[in-house]
């Protein structure tokens, strides 16, 4: 495009400094710099999450304590880490967009709650959260924040006595309908869509990238590796999310008070 700068970081930074409706989809790569493993590719380490006996309703019904303990092990790891520069940059971007009458919709596949701990608000958790538990019988939910001690047995529901399960979405389970609807609406309506730290292979989350493309949004990915979407994007920035996002939001920095 005439007048657009060649360097992708400068180009996307320019787009970010003028956009009003921005949607961001994050994946495990955004939490990698906090020390949490990703699911696939280099550094992956969520061994077992693919194991249906550990991450499925049937697996939970057959052995609730075993499934509960595996997820409590993940929650214990989350409690030991802190948000990184990527989480902080996205929280800051939300504040700056809001300050100029714009809106950031932050959509995450992550279940670690690190976006919220960095200060992001209204985070759409497509795959639920390790920091909540819910009852499959009566749908009651309880908080399981990082301050809640790790337990070895699935706690009983206060409403009906059934064992509570982690409030995460396992493969083959529907995503939370209202959360997904809000994510779809923002992907369809945004001017700029950033896909950050995701291999974009899990659906329907990855389908949001298709939706943004079809809706005419400038669609960008930030990832040290290419993905299946790379050839279709307006920009694909190779690098770690923490460094790249901090540089991207620079042009959005509010003017220094006179």
Interacting residue ranges for ligand BV8, rule: CB under 6 A:
27-29, 32-33, 38-41, 44, 49, 55, 109-111, 127, 168-174, 197-199, 201-203, 223-225, 240-241
Backbone angles phi, psi at 3, to 5 degrees: 85, -15
Closest by alpha carbon to 109, among 178, 24, 42? 24
Q: Provide, rounded to whole angstroms, the least separation between the CB of residue 59 and ligand BV8.
A: 10
Backbone angles phi, psi at 187, to 5 degrees: -70, -35
Q: Provide, rounded to whole angstroms, the least separation between the CB of residue 26 and ligand BV8.
A: 8
Tally the C-alpha atoms within 13 A of residue 149's C-alpha that lie toward its C-beta: 4
Residue (102 or 235) nearer to ligand BV8, CB: 235
DSSP category for residue 250:
G
Q: Provide, rounded to whole angstroms, the least separation between the CB of residue 212 and ligand BV8.
A: 16
Q: Which does 159 bind (CB under 5 to 8 A by kind): Zn ion, ligand BV8, none?
A: Zn ion
Q: Provide, rounded to whole angstroms, the least separation between the CB of residue 27 and ligand BV8.
A: 3
Asked if residue 26 lies in contact with residue 197, where contact means CB atoms within 8 angstroms, the answer is yes
Q: Provide, rounded to whole angstroms, the least separation between the CB of residue 153 and Zn ion.
A: 16
In which order are the strands placed within the sheet that holds 141-143? 141-143, 128-135, 164-168
DSSP category for residue 40:
S
Residue (1 or 174) nearer to ligand BV8, CB: 174
Q: Which does 91 bind (CB under 5 to 8 A by kind): Zn ion, ligand BV8, none?
A: none
Residue (88 or 127) nearer to ligand BV8, CB: 127
Residue (27 or 128) nearer to Zn ion, CB: 128
Q: Report the C-alpha gap between 229 and 74 in whole angstroms.
A: 29
Q: Footprint of Zn ion on this chain (CB under 5 A)?
A: 135, 137-138, 140, 157, 159-160, 162
Active site residues: 127
Residue (142 or 146) nearer to Zn ion, CB: 142
Burial 216-229 (b: 16+ CB within 10 A, else e): ebbbbbbbbeebeb
Both tokens of residue 234?
């307006």
Q: Which does 127 bind (CB under 5 to 8 A by kind): Zn ion, ligand BV8, none?
A: ligand BV8
Q: Report the C-alpha gap between 160 and 155 in whole angstroms.
A: 12
């Amino acid at each position: 495009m005439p007048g657009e700068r060649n360097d992708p970081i400068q180009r996307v930074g320019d787009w970010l400094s003028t956009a009003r409706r921005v949607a961001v989809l994050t994946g495990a790569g955004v939490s990698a710099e906090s020390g949490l493993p990703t699911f696939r590719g280099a550094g992956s380490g969520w061994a077992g999450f693919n194991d249906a006996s550990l991450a499925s309703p049937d697996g939970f019904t057959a052995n609730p304590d075993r499934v509960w303990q595996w997820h409590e092990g993940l929650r214990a790891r989350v409690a030991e880490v802190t948000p990184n520069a990527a989480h902080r940059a996205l929280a800051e971007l939300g504040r700056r967009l809001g300050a100029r009458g714009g809106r950031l919709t932050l959509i995450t596949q992550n279940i670690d709650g690190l976006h919220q701990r960095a200060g992001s608000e209204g985070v759409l958790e497509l795959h639920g959260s390790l920091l909540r538990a819910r009852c499959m019988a009566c749908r009651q939910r309880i908080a399981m924040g990082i301050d809640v001690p790790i337990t070895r047995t699935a706690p009983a529901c206060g409403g009906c006595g059934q064992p509570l399960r982690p409030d995460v979405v396992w493969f083959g389970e529907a995503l939370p309908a209202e959360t997904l609807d809000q994510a779809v609406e923002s992907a369809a309506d945004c001017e700029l869509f950033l896909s950050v730290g995701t291999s974009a292979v899990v659906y329907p989350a990855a389908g949001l990238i298709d939706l943004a493309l079809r809706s005419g949004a400038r669609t960008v990915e930030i990832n040290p590796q290419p993905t299946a979407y790379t050839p279709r994007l307006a920009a694909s920035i190779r690098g770690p999310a923490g460094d790249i996002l901090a540089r991207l939001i620079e042009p959005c920095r509010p003017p220094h008070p006179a």
